[in-house]
Structure 1
Amino acid sequence: MTPTQRTTRTLAAIAVGLGLLGACGSTMPGDDDPLCNDADEAVVADIMDTARTNFPLGDSTISSFEFIEAATAPIPEQVQDFGASDLMVLLIAVTIDDPDIEEGFQGVQGPVYVVLDADGRPLGPLGTFSQNYFDLQPPDDPGWTAWADGVDDSDVAYDLFGCVNPN
């Protein structure tokens, strides 16, 4: 496989993953609009400060993340665990450096989820996708991963993406 083919596959995988996450969160205006709260700008800045840049992804390098928008929503009480209270979604643009990509490639946009405690502070990233891109450590509890995966696949996460979805 040539470097161009590997790069194309890597970019396609990122775009498909972000697209699938985004497609699930699309909502139409009306009575079923998701509950969206403004994200605390200081918390967003703290999270963005932990973004991993210049790390390899296949044959490419993630060079930067650009914050676009963020929102929060409460996690239903019956689902809350590990001190979790709210879920934050950050819409980000990922810029990829690769010599086999034509100049001017802007990367892809997609959601990253972070679980917040009752004080609005980050507890950890939600799901495997978010863990890869930020140096946020989840609670050191063997049940966290299963719980986070359940919330990651929930209507709460999908609906929250509708708060920042540019489509």
Structure 2
Amino acid sequence: MNTTLKKLIYTSLMLALVFVATVVIAIPMPLGYVNLGDGAIYIAAALLGPKFGFLAAALGSALGDYYLGYLIYMLPTFLVKGAMGYVSGLMFEKSKYVQGVIAGFIILVAGYYIAEVIIYSNFISPLSSIPFNGVQGAVGAVVGYLFATKFKKIFSGKINF
């Protein structure tokens, strides 16, 4: 199979997984929603590596925000979740799974804090979303770590392009 076609297919599948994990189990909260999309981001990063993990994470998550009506968060989500996929993918390539999910957790919490500082034009009110983002990040980190390490063993590394 053509390498470019394989990249497109696998990245599209992981993008769809991120999207579905984001919107199917979306528990609404006052400042957003809790979902399993972050867990899917770690799976995509482990299987696809940093570049394609970025694409699957950024596009799948931003489309999830669009579908659920959180349009104001689409661009921040694209950047934050894409960075999670990229950095985690770099760490996973070195078999540093714990460090990869911790880095993703930090990117999630810090990234959304910075985004909300810009959106709300102050440094104080976004502080209230840190615990919520922490819960979201922790759920995603645990789910992602468990599945990413198992899938990585099954596929003996990232999917070869």
Return the TM-score normalized by structure 1.
Answer: 0.28
Q: Which has the larger radius of gyration?
A: 1
Could you say which structure has the higher helix fraction?
2
Q: Which protein is richer in strand relative to its size? A: 1
